[in-house]
Amino acid sequence: MKKVLVSGCNGHMGQILCRLINNRPDMYVVGGVDTNTTNGEKYPVYSNLWDADRLGCKTDVIIDFSSPEATSSLIDFAVAKEIPLVIATTGICELDMTLMRKAAIKIPIFYSANMSYDVCVFKRILEVVVPLLQEADIEITEEHHRRKADSPSGTAKMLAYAINDNLDIVREIVYGRTGKRGVYEIGISSVRGGNVCGTHTVHFFGENDILEIKHTALSRDVFAEGAIRAAKFLLEDGRAPGFYTMDDLF
């Protein structure tokens, strides 16, 4: 059985991830890292990764569902210990993306703004649709629960980048528009409330009709399942150092 260390184990997503891992026959949670070290489960929780290592917690892979503030130290630890790393935390900045790509020269790193496999399929659909609707006004709306820290979501940004990659003329990405819509824009609007797991819709507005492509997460389990799939991918025999995404699972 493969040993998994979960960063952010006592957060909402971390708890879901640990539950799903420990229901599997091929891996188990060997330990967790969290600022809240309270633990009612069957694995130890450490305040930081270095304490986990010093106290004998050895792992085959790290899965991170913590916070962007912990990303740089997490990468440093994984590189120092040569441990494959799955980063499923949202709100990652460009500096951390650069650190990830640099670290991927030495270890396998898997990152996605959204760990849902179906969202990756959504992106693939856009690669087909966008070139056919070059004249449409394109807007993205995203809805999440009231506790979500980042806005707009990383997934919304990912979809906007994917749209621009498939347009003949790159458009300006506008967050939370307040004035008149420009011709060459992709607007992203965010809605926060209740306990919404995550809904993303890309709207193509034509003169006489509207096409919408939509993904709705019905449970947060889908993100944890995607992170587990990513970890299994990194643990496959012979997985070389590199920067991997959901696209590599196809």
Q: What are the catalytic residues? A: 144, 148
For 45, 105, 149, 208, 246, the CA distances from 154, given in Å and listed in that order, are 28, 24, 11, 31, 14
The burial class, CB within 10 Å (0-12 / 13-18 / 19+), for 233 is middle
Structure tokens at 76: 């440093």
